[in-house]
Amino acid sequence: MSSRKHFGTDGIRGAVGRSPITPDFMLRLGHAVGRVLRRESERPSVVIGKDTRLSGYMIESALEAGFASAGVNVLLSGPLPTPGVAYLTRALRQDLGVVISASHNPYHDNGVKFFSASGEKLPDAWELAVEQSLDEPAQWVDSAGLGRARRIDDAAGRYTEFCKSTFPNALSLRGMKLVVDAAHGAAYHVAPDVFHELGAQVHTIGCKPDGMNINDGVGATAPQALVQAVREQGADYGIALDGDADRLQMVDASGRLFNGDELLYVLASDRLAQGRTVPGVVGTLMTNMAVEVALRGAGVELVRAKVGDRYVLEELVARGWELGGEGSGHLLALDCHTTGDGIVSALQVLQAVRRRGTSLAGLLEGVQLYPQVLLNVRLREGVDWKTHAGLAQARETVERELADTGRVLIRASGTEPVLRIMVEAPDAAAARRHAQAMAHSLEG
């Protein structure tokens, strides 16, 4: 089996104008994917959505030509959140969903990711088939066999209604003032409408894309803009999405920022409060231990997957569970959607606030996040950290001292000769002392 040359952990991504984010490669990619789809269907159809980057026009045109040249029909949604494309793929019975986005990256990056007909991330085997198809000579169809393309005029409206459908009819957001920050990204024309139509008074920031300002000082990766806007507006809550709107951060009236770990706990505890069964929750290696302890106290198991929403989803599917997520704000509620969705996740949190008659901070009372200290230690050439006796001894000492009140996580960087040492403990000073002790053990 050949290795993947172009696909990373979440599709294909890079700097625009450098391989593979060039028009010639994107045409070849569309053609190669089209040929893979033709193995299962005589006349496949795909939906293509994008975020607000200027380069999206170029990539969209190239992909469209590539698909058409392989005999694949194309529906163009225009700017639409990644989870919106996943929804439309399923709702419109398409064979594939295609998203042009580099998520939380700056505007000069872009990428492509794909969803199956059921609106789910595709397996490695499918990506390998596409890689192999890219290495084969093109097989252009004749004129009569070319694919057709058309625009979906009501894509944003369809997705808006889907998001609203995940909020109970018996509840509303009337009387609630929200600040919505779409990071000048794909949800700029959807997110404000969703919350407004459910009754909220909405003030927006990050909803004026110009092709080059996506994620620039706003959105889930720069939440201070939201914190400031919530205070200035006297809002009850702030909602920050990233460029393709699949991750979420929230802020309350006091300016407190809530990350994905805390919001995941809220989703689980609200389901329990409704009398629903929550057999378990999937986090990642970086999920804060305080959340694990709180869930355990509620009788809910937390299982840790590798970092990345793709791995969280794989673990959820394997176990038949519904809730998962990571601190960055990628939250999965598989009883609502097939993929992570920032707008839907925010609605899940807000309905918990409404249903329970308390604040978001109140829902997290008693859940105090543990300090996490992360040190990057540059390894000397020839040092194998896995067999390093000094590190092993230092780690054993730290873990014995922490017992079940903290965690140690050591992992190598995938891109540079650096070892990442993370210690989590109820006391920040102790966490730093333990991390430094393990880092110093590598110096001998």
pLDDT digits (tens, 9 = 90+) for 330-372: 999 999 999 999 999 999 999 999 999 999 999 999 899 999 9
**Beta bridge mates, 420:** 376, 411
Question: What pLDDT score was predicted for residue 3?
Answer: 62
Strands 248-252 and 257-258: what pairing? antiparallel
CA distance to 268, 379, 385, 396, per residue, from 441 (Å): 40, 12, 10, 12
- Those residues with Cβ within 8 angstroms of residue 250's Cβ, 6 or more apart along the chain or in another chain: 237, 238, 239, 240, 257, 258, 263, 346, 349, 360
Identify the band that residue 415 occupies on the pLDDT scale cut at 50, 70 and 90.
Answer: low
Estimate the share of the chain in helix, then strand, then coil, as percent rounded to the nearest 5.
35, 20, 40
Give 272-311 as a DSSP string.
Answer: HHTT----EEEEETTS-HHHHHHHHHTT-EEEEEPSSHHH
Q: What is the mean pLDDT of the chain?
A: 95
pTM: 0.93
Do residues 422 and 373 make contact, with C-beta atoms less than 8 angstroms apart? yes
* Residue among 103, 116, 269, 441 flagged as catalytic: 103
Tracing tokens 């109140």 back to the chain, one arrives at 362
Q: Is 192 left (phi over 0), alpha (psi -120 to 50) or beta?
A: alpha
Enter the tokens of residue 359.
């604040």
In terms of pLDDT, which residue wins out, 185 or 310?
185
Rounded distance, CA 82 to CA 291, Å?
28
Q: Is the pLDDT of residue 1 over 50?
A: no
CA distance to 191, 413, 431, 438, 439, per residue, from 442 (Å): 49, 16, 18, 7, 6
pLDDT digits (tens, 9 = 90+) for 144-190: 999 999 999 999 999 999 999 999 999 999 999 999 999 999 999 99
For residue 19, indicate whether it is catalytic.
no
Rounded distance, CA 164 to CA 87, Å?
13
Tracing tokens 């050591």 back to the chain, one arrives at 410
Q: Is the pLDDT of residue 307 over 90?
A: no
- Ordered domains of the chain (ranges, CATH): 12-153 (3.40.120.10), 158-256 (3.40.120.10), 258-363 (3.40.120.10), 372-441 (3.30.310.50)
154 residue type, one letter: D
376 residue type, one letter: N
Rounded distance, CA 235 to CA 216, Å?
23
